[in-house]
Amino acid sequence: WSLGRIFPWASAWQRRAPAGVDGRGPAGFDGVEVAPRTAAVAPAPARWAGTDEDPGVFLTWEDVCVMVAGAAYGAQPVSILSGITGHAGPGEVLAIMGPSGCGKTTLLDTLAGRLGPGITETGSILINGRREKLAFGTSAYVTQDSVLMSTMSVREAIYYSAQLQLPGTMPAAEKRAHADAVIREMGLGDAMDTRIGGRMTKGISGGQRKRVTICVEMLTRPRLLFLDEPTSGLDSAASYHVMSHIARVAAREGMTVVAAVHQPCGDVFDLFHRLCLLAYGRTIFFGPASGATQFFTESGFPCPPLRNPSDHFLRTINKDFDEEIVESSKARRKTAAEAIEILTDAYQSPAYSEKTMDRIAEMKGIVSCLQAPF
């Protein structure tokens, strides 16, 4: 297998690594394409977070459960996530989707080690096969709410971050050039000299704010990037450009991306390599994003013609509105609550959940193989 062919930055590891775990490299796991899907790929800048010696981040989680203390004194703890298993690897974009309140942000926070007080978690979360914390600067988290200085212009905010975050050995001119490139990649070239603004003073738009926040976190090219609702507040074209840029950088530099996404349009959905679909704290589906439509069809909930698959998934599993009846290929129409039970059971079949476990085992094998002394 050729790790270097799939992850160009991994060629040095490939040369040193013995023949593959089972004859396949990471992208051969289940045929998921991790190369950029759009043709125009910007020339790669030098990497700071990693080098050829850097295998990237393989993140795996098994049987993760999250509980929060009940609101009333003496009340039973409330389960937010139950038995969640999955993985994300270098060069991939994993999308976490599901109805509002299903636990997307909680899963993201759990994987990023950011759960607040009063919340308990169980299960195993491994980074490159180990229970470890990433070194400063190797991971980044873009939250739903951006914290930016309202009096600065976009250019000033990004330059300031570049000055603080990029290595001290990097010349100032190079830092500015890199910041300029990142600003333009995020489609903020025209807003460079506009004030960010805030509650009292009008500045850039909400969607532009979101992009500035992503810019700040992308400056250092983190090896692991968590994004909470990266496309909220963006129109469909901006959503597509922002996500395709992130997917391109991920593929080019072996970055692992985990993003909680609300309602992606069809073009954005096509950019995701893997999908983790949650409903009310449970896994509905985990696997290649391109395989989710088939999973729904096999389970009796085919996507109607001309409907965006991600819309179909979310409509099928949203039981917040009692009257919702979902379309089923079977004789009787079903409620969303019934659909969730059917899909959850279907995912537990060997064809799906065991595949996820197999991939995790393969990932752990690859990581231990890469880490072995030569």
Ligand X SMILES: Nc1ncnc2c1ncn2[C@@H]1O[C@H](COP(=O)(O)OP(=O)(O)OP(=O)(O)O)[C@@H](O)[C@H]1O
What residues line the site for ligand X (CB under 6 A)? 68, 80, 98, 100-106, 116, 119, 260, 262
Shortest separation between residue 100's beta carbon and ligand X, angstroms? 3
Residue 270 beta carbon to ligand X: minimum distance, rounded to whole angstroms: 21
- Residue nearer to ligand X on the CB measure, 11 or 232: 232
CB closer to ligand X, 148 vs 276? 276
Select 49 or 81, whichever has its Cβ closest to ligand X: 81
CA distances from 95 to 175, 225, 354 (A): 31, 12, 20
Q: Distance (Å, rounded) from C-alpha 356 to C-alpha 231?
A: 27
Task: Give the DSSP letter of residue 190.
Answer: G
Cβ–Cβ < 8 Å for 157, 148: yes
Query: Which of 116, 373 has the CB closer to ligand X?
Result: 116
Residue found under tokens 């993201």: 108
Q: Are 228 and 184 in contact (CB under 8 A)?
A: no
Q: What is the closest distance, in whole angstroms, from the C-beta atom of residue 99 to ligand X in the complex?
A: 7
CB of 273 to ligand X, least distance (A): 21
CB of 262 or CB of 355, closer to ligand X: 262
Q: How far is the CB of 129 from ligand X (least distance, A)?
A: 27
Using an 8 Å Cβ cutoff, are 315 and 295 in contact? no
- Residue 347 Cβ vs ligand X, minimum distance, rounded to whole Å: 18
| Residues 25, 22: Cα–Cα separation, whole Å | 8
Q: Which residues contact 214 (CB under 8 A, 6 or more apart)?
A: 142, 186, 227, 230, 242, 246
CA angle 3, 252, 276 (to 5 degrees): 80
At residue 212's C-alpha, the angle toward residues 208 and 214, to 5°, is 115
Minimum distance, C-beta of residue 1 to ligand X, in the bound complex (Å): 37
| Helices 154-165, 172-185: inter-axial angle, 10-degree rounding | 130
Please report which helix (H) or strand (E) contains residue 135, including its range. none
Provide the minimum distance between the beta carbon of 220 and ligand X in the complex, in angstroms, as a whole number: 26
β-pair type (78-88, 59-68): antiparallel
